[in-house]
Structure 1
Amino acid sequence: MPKTLLRAASAVLLTLTALNVSTANAATDEVAPVAVTVNARAGLATVPETGIGTNHAIWDTNLGTDQTADRLKDAGVKLVRYPGGSYSDIYHWADHTAPGGYVAPNTDFDTFMGGVRRTGAQAMVTANYGTGTAEEAAAWVRHANVDKGYGIKYWEIGNENYGNGHYGSAWEADDHADKSPAEYARHVVSYADAMKAVDPTIKIGAVLTTAANWPDAIVADGDNGSWNKVVLSIAGPKIDFVILHWYPGALDKTGHVPDMIYLTRRQIAQHAGPGSERIGIAMTEFNTGSSSNGTNTQPGALAAADAYATLLANGVFTVDWWNVHNGIGTVTQVEGQTDYGDFGLLSSATCSSDGTVCEPPLNTPFAPYYALQMTSKFARPGDQFIRAATDQAKVTAHAARRPNGDLAVLLINTSSDTSYPVAISYSGFTPASGAPTVLTHANGATGITTSTATTPLPPLSLTTLVLHPAAAQTGRPGAPGQPTASNVTDKTATISWPAASPGTRPIVKYEVHRQNGAITEQLGEATGTSFTASNLKPGTRYTLNVIARDSGGAVSWASPPLTFTTGTPAASSCTVRLTVQTDWASGYVGAIDITNNGAPINGWTLNFGWPRTWQSLGSGWSAVWTQNGSDVKVVNEPGNGALATGASTTIGFVGNYSGPNVLPAAFTLNGTVCTTQ
């Protein structure tokens, strides 16, 4: 049945056709359509050429085979990382050895590059920091880019070097007597100098910890800050990208990604020195890491597609799955399918230790393979991610706008037993009346199907719709350039942007839109290339886009997004200073200094809110602490309620968190917004 256009709402309704669903969903008309909102005015990152990546490992006998390379090409893989995780810090490329580890035959660097070229991908190489030298790394660059002409652009310095025992746990090889982040950073500088002396066009990456993942935020004895602060402060001027790894261990952690990337960018801006905006972010190892919920079956695939799309939409330039082949683990049944506990994209054809269960034939794709393949079909290099959201927790939406004006919408149904019809409404886009192209991968499927049938979303499925625009896209103005914010106060900010190129008609104005989920609020417009936003809220993060409109009413694509956070009043009757005394990557001790800048007070109440649902109050002292929802209320004790003009008091608390820890930015004292230091 073709889709029904709901013209008043500019919506598409996916209606039921013949579809086998479970008896729990037999009466499909009892299931209300999921409302999906897609907003082309709310632009996010542009899809990078290197977005879909994976890891290869030198212990994988099938690393360089044509069959493996062809599988990766069919999945849309555009970047392959070598030589494989922690092996990177014991691997010596020149003689193809890894003392203490197994090196499979036919996995040397040149064999790897043959597979990379057959795949049509770029390579990312991890130089040996743990047991290697800068000279060894520079020789590798010479062999790769001067002698062989491979043109490898991305070079990491080490793998998970914070796992060298400095924080207690040790899994990463490190022969340096000094295992501090400062020592690592100093070597990053020497590696970068030596390697760029051979080829100045390469990009150097340094290892960081991932927000809210151990040992992020921990300060070890003798250090003057966390791993990230120290590494960025020393190596920041010499690097071109930073490296994150993420194994969330659950299938519902994608909501952490925006804050994870926001905090990483903020650390780069704070510590890496002038010009730090050039530094990119690479997620060079990612896996759902959830063997109990489906490592290589459909739940893991759905989580993988969601994470890939979210990470790329937030500006990460590559997301690299761990691993191409990994091997059998704990075998379970998940959603009617055999899950082999294998973290690979492709079967290794290995068997359980007792020989009773064996994987399917070599290079048989597992479900996450199809997640990468679907993501590569949904969001192609050069597309721009735009905001999308749903009103159903079981259904997630992503969207991307293509240079030719087409729109792709990825819908992820995580329900095990419900098939959902979907109604899509659009802002800034009007779909043509013809049927969309529909790509689907359902539970247990061995491929992605293509049709024009707009059925409800099957349970445990990935569905991509590709829609054409109703009107021709030629002659429209180009998108404005990257906006910047200046003169940011507690209530105002000046937004500036490079002018858009006109189409067939002159540009008459620019519109500034604030993102609020998948809904945008127009803050104002200007005939020039700057605008002062007012009536902003103190201590609030804003994400904006700029759109050009021509004399005929045609609009451009959205500009790249701009994110900034407002401050607090420059002068107030109170000042608050929040400091973190110690942090253990899932909680911290905080101290709040309150200073009265106004008339003497006798009795005070401090209020603030946790920015995220995964934050909470553990305990508090030197005041009476209560929490209601995300709101925290702190009332003085009898002994510290009187604050003369200029007087201060200090209170403390334990804050708990299970995701990126964005600290409260705004506080009120007796109802007045304080200056936050």
Structure 2
Amino acid sequence: MPRTLLRAASAFLLTLTALTAPAAYADDVTPVAVTVNARAALATVPETGIGSNHAIWDTNLGTDETADRLKDAGVKMLRYPGGSYSDIYHWADHTAPGGYVAPNTDFDTFMRGVRRTGAQAMVTANYGTGTADEAAAWVRQANITKGYGVKYWEIGNENYGNGHYGSAWEADDHADKSPAEYARNVVAYADAMKAVDPTIKIGAVLTTAANWPDAIVADGDSGTWNKTVLSIAGPKIDFVIVHWYPGALDKTGHVPDIVQLTRQQIAKYVGAGSDRIGIAMTEFNTGSSSNGSTTQPGALAAADSYATLLANGVFTVDWWNVHNGIGAVTQVEGHTDYGDFGLLSSGVCTSDNSVCEPALNTPFAPYYALQMVSRFARPGDQFVRAATDQAKVSAHAARRPNGDLAVMLINTSSDTSYPVAIDYSGYSPASGAPTVLTHTNGATAITTSSTGSATSQTLPPLSLTTLILHPATPQTGRPGAPGQPTASQVTEKAATISWPAASPGSRPIVKYELYRQNGAISEQLGETTGTSFTVNNLNPGTRYTVNVIARDSGGGLSWASPPLTFTTGTPASSSCSVRLTVQTDWASGYVGAIDITNNGAPVSGWTLNFSWPRTWQSLGSGWSAVWTQNGSDVKAVNDSGNGALATGASTTIGFVGNYSGPNVLPAVFTLNGTVCTTQ
């Protein structure tokens, strides 16, 4: 995203009086049912999970006060030199031609702040106006000369914004601005930089699912940005870089598909060994000042997004920005929003001095969101599934190595205190009041108390609440968790799941249990004494996420294995086959062509059915058939000219599909009620 827009973006004051809901609300509202399932494990919390961006136009980048604030928030990754400035910045003389470089923002000052914060550094090498040799010299200065041990190095920032797709905000001096040229340079940068320090990790820029210019193929290109970059540079990179500015506070539901589609692209275009490639979200902010993205509503969305992204395996989420500057001033939920995308106040005023931000480094609401997430989910904890039956309340949970369980509850209602009734599966909390961490609208700190119970709490309006629970029985002597499962021999109805054996505890392991995640509910698929199990009776074209748990001779259960996600196919042979081809895509819609082939007896009329995988997808129009949509179900009935299909005959129909989130394509088609082979 252009830095010129972001520096004119949003935030708010957090030093005003907190709002509290009338106590009567809790008595008048039906309790929200919360389900926490310790058997349904997700990703392990990474050391680098909670991050933020620094920028060389921020003179407070390296101060002790800034570093100490970030440390208190639990920030473990700091990115430098700052968004689009990365592609004009020259580290050796600390200049950025065409941009402003503030005093006391050089690389050594940045690294001093990183060390005081207790974080790691994410450094963006200059692709736009720099060279591979310049980047390699930076690695030498950082890790050989200075001994900083900087592990993570990006090659450029948002380089698809160089004008190749029509919009240009990113500096790029290369005559060829195609994704292929970027990818070739990533290879050159990686070779030069790793020749200096082979231990570093190199990241390449990708587009984010359903965010421009994702899925667009520009003139002269053989594929999309992601396909081209991964196909050429994949063998040389260690992680990919995505940025996400959803522009609204209710987009967390997009996260699992954003991550899954990115992983699918990595696997498809990189091939063997692609599972080594991580995903980093090195810029993130919840929206714009118009929806209060930096007052409490934005803070709640931030906590929800951080937890969801990390639970889905993103290894760092880096907030834009530590300091950003005042923008449009508004009132949101009873508090002043200063139009500042920062975590901390810059202490500046509007151009006419009519409104000033609070004192420098005063935390804004998202700061407390990051602080809450860092206290809820610590490095080494394992996220587990949690869900609620109330749209205004979201839930996350993480299991700790010592057996404790943390549950984070988010109430986005402006005026309702929600009582919650929490049910636990695969975990028995100790009796008594848990430790409760709370942050409410306008509060200037997270409060700690001991109130309610493990199963019953009341959530104030616009609040973050985290419960820290202890297990009812000691967790010693239990088996270790099984290793990462893998899937093989996947068909439309079956898959063989295998996993590394768990280490036994004080008693021998007697069996392994395989569970499917169905939301926050675990469905047992089977059990075995071995380390492999074939699951049958699966549904075609369906995404499954499973975990394995070890059980010992005394009934003791291990932690759940890391999750495995796989997708079943369609029949290898059928009386019909279908091929869906995307003809053109503009990142919010596409033209699709469906080739239908009749492999069976001749038909004199046909109906093709499929369903949209996601609620944000819809039918725009269609041709060569009579198209209708009912809910998520789409039906295409032959028109007068293509109803007769002899054995081996084909016909092609087309449609416009609209989408406002990650575009997961339909995978299962039926012709006259028969599931077709999808080619």
Given the two structures, how large is their TM-score scaled by the length of structure 1?
0.97
Other-structure match for 1:499? 501
Amino acid at match of 1:569: P
Query: Post-superposition shift, 1:21?
Result: 4.3
Question: What is the aligned partner in structure 2 of residue 130 from structure 1?
Answer: 128
Deviation by residue 1:302-328 (Cα, 9 ceiling, x = unmatched): 000000000000000000000000000
Residues 533 and 569 (structure 1), Cα distance of their counterparts in 2 relative to 1, 3 Å cut = same
TM-superposed deviation, 1:576: 0.2
How many pairs were matched up? 658
| C-alpha contact 2:33 2:389 (8 A) present in aligned 1 | yes
Matched, 1:178 2:176: yes
Instruction: In structure 1, give the amino acid aligned to 2:498.
Output: S
Deviation sequence 1:577-601 (CA, Å, 0-9, x none): 0000000000000000000000000
The aligned residue for residue 412 of structure 1 is 410
1:639 aligns with 2:637: no
SS of residue matched to 2:566: strand
Task: Check conservation: 2:406, 2:468, Cα contact below 8 A.
Answer: yes
- Cα displacement string for residues 301-356 of structure 1 (whole angstroms, at most 9, x for unaligned residues): 00000000000000000000000000001000000000001000000011112110
SS in 1 for 2:291: coil
8 Å Cα contact 1:302-1:412 kept in structure 2? yes
Q: Are 2:656 and 1:658 aligned? A: no
**Aligned counterpart, 2:4:** none
Letter in 2 for 1:469: P
When structure 1 is superposed on structure 2, of 452-461 and 88-97 the one drifting more is 452-461
Which residue of structure 2 lines up, in the alignment, with residue 545 of structure 1?
A: 547
Deviation at 1:501, TM superposition (A): 0.3
**Residues in 2 aligned to 1:254 and 1:194: alpha-carbon distance in whole angstroms:** 38
Quote how far apart the aligned CAs of 1:291 are.
1.1
% identity of equivalent residues? 87
Mapped pair 1:296 → 2:291: no
* d(CA) in 2 for partners of 1:632, 1:555: 44
Q: Deviations over 1:194-237 (max 9, x none)?
A: 00000000000000000000000000000000000000000000
Alpha-carbon distance in structure 2 between the residues aligned to 1:274 and 1:562: 17
Q: 1:138 aligns to what SS in structure 2? A: helix
* 1:32-431 pair list within 5 angstroms: 32-431=30-429
One-letter amino acid of the counterpart of residue 521, structure 1: E
Offset at residue 378 of structure 1 (A):
0.2
Alpha-carbon contact 2:595-2:652 (below 8 Å) kept? yes
Q: What one-letter code is carried by the residue in structure 1 that aligns with 2:640?
A: P
2:25, 2:417 within 8 Å by CA — same for their partners in 1? no
Equivalent position of 2:9 in the other structure: none
* CA RMSD of superposed structures (Å): 0.9
The letter for the 1-side match of 2:534 is: T
Tell me by how many angstroms 1:27 deviates. Answer: 4.4
Equivalent position to 1:587, from 564, 586, 589: 589
**Offset from partner CA, 1:27-67 (integer Å, 9 cap, x none):** 43111111000000000000000000000000001001000
Change (3 A) 1:419 1:154: same
Partner SS for 1:300: helix
Of the candidates 560, 569, 572, which is equivalent to residue 571 of structure 2?
569
* Maintained 8 Å contact 2:249/2:293: no
Q: Secondary structure at the match of 2:526?
A: strand
- Kindly state the Cα deviation for residue 642 of structure 1 after the two structures are TM-superposed: 0.4
The unaligned stretches of length 5 or more in structure 2 are 1-17
> Which ranges of structure 1 fall in alignment gaps of 5 or more residues?
1-18
Contact map agreement 1:413 1:458 (CA 8 A) in 2 = yes
The alpha-carbon deviation at position 290 of structure 1 amounts to: 2.1
**CA apart distance, 1:434:** 2.1
Cα separation, 2, equivalents of 1:159 and 1:518:
37
Once the 2 structures are TM-superposed, how far is the Cα of residue 661 of structure 1 from its aligned partner? 0.1
Could you tell me which residue of structure 2 aligns to residue 487 of structure 1?
Answer: 489
Partners of 2:25 and 2:677 in 1: CA distance: 57
| Cα distance in 2, alignment partners of residues 32 and 194 from structure 1 | 62
Cα offset for 1:20? 8.4
Q: Return closer, same or farther for 1:142/1:20 CA change in 2, 3 Å cut-off.
A: closer
Residue 453 of structure 1: how far off its partner (Å): 1.6
Residue 609 (structure 1) aligned with residue 607 (structure 2): no
Is the CA contact 2:39–2:547 (under 8 Å) kept in the aligned structure 1?
Answer: yes
State the TM-score, normalized to the length of structure 2: 0.96
Residue 12 of structure 2 aligns with which residue?
Answer: none
Deviates more, 1:367-376 or 1:448-457: 448-457
CA–CA separation in structure 2 for the residues paired with 1:154 and 1:21: 43
Alignment counterpart, residue 533 of structure 2, candidates 501, 521, 531: 531
Alignment of 1:428-443 (within 5 A): 428-443=426-441
| Other-structure match for 2:600 | 598
8 A contact 2:25–2:418 mirrored in 1: no
Does the aligned pair in 1 maintain the 2:323–2:342 contact within 8 Å?
yes
**Letter in structure 1 aligned against 2:384:** I
Asked whether the 8 Å contact 1:33–1:421 carries over to 2, the reply is: yes
Aligned 8 A contact 1:251 1:290 in 2: no
Whole-Å separation in 2 of the counterparts to 1:675 and 1:561: 28
Match of 1:629 among 616, 628, 631: 631
